[in-house]
A = this chain, B = another copy of it.
Amino acid sequence: MAIEAAGQGGSPAAIKDAPVETSLADLASPAATPAGGSAAAVMGGIGAALVAMVCHLTIGRKKYAAVEAELSAVLVAADALRLRMVAAIEEDVAAFGTVMAAYALPRETEAQIASRGAAIQAALRLATEAPLACARLCAEAIELAATVSAKGNATVISDGGVAVLAAHAALRSAALNVAVNLKAIEDRAFAAAARAEMETLLAAGAARAEATYLLVKTQLD
């Protein structure tokens, strides 16, 4: 979300520790955080979690012995990814707090105005890097979800499909949060690089996610 509309932010620690029902109520509130950036990380976390579940339900089954080593590696990666997504929820909230704090700096003297401007720009870069980092994690989650959907236990293929849908929605959500912060960034080289990386992640993610979703849906229809 952009600054102009922001209410008060929540505490970073509160979000990952809050019950799901309460978290959704927090998300619905007028408070500045949690908002779309945190929601992206939660959806990415859902994707990573379901990848792990499919791995658990594939590993150790005779029928899937041929993919056991590969899915064991996917499981390790998915578990790590889930924890990084949880951290990304907090990073999003913290970055937003930094932006809010920068905007709140005094602006009475010329020196204050200059130093506030610099602080805002630095904070906006942080607030761009947080969803960009989340987007990279989402791209990884899409890859893992594609693997488990293609090779995992066929009886839980719908969960592989949900994993890829969640990870892809998370990637596109993170992209929107990158874009909203880039709008106010004055460093054009930084903005161009971030935009280019985001577009690459989006294009690759969309192709992989749609192919995987179709694979899953075809198997279920």
**Chain A interfacial positions (CB closer than 8 Å to B):** 1-5, 7, 15-21, 23-25, 27-30, 35-36, 39-40, 42-43, 45-46, 48-50, 52-53, 56-57, 78-79, 82, 85-86, 89, 153, 155-159, 161-163, 165-166, 168-169, 172-173, 175-177, 179-180, 183, 213, 216-217, 220-221
Contacts and interface: CB of A to CB of B under 8 A. Distances in A.
Contact of A50 (B5, B23, B39, B157): B39
8 contacts: A1-B155, A5-B155, A17-B20, A30-B57, A36-B162, A158-B179, A161-B176, A168-B169
Main secondary structure of the interface of A (DSSP, over half): helix
Contacts of A3: 155
B172 A158 contact: no
A19 B21 contact: no
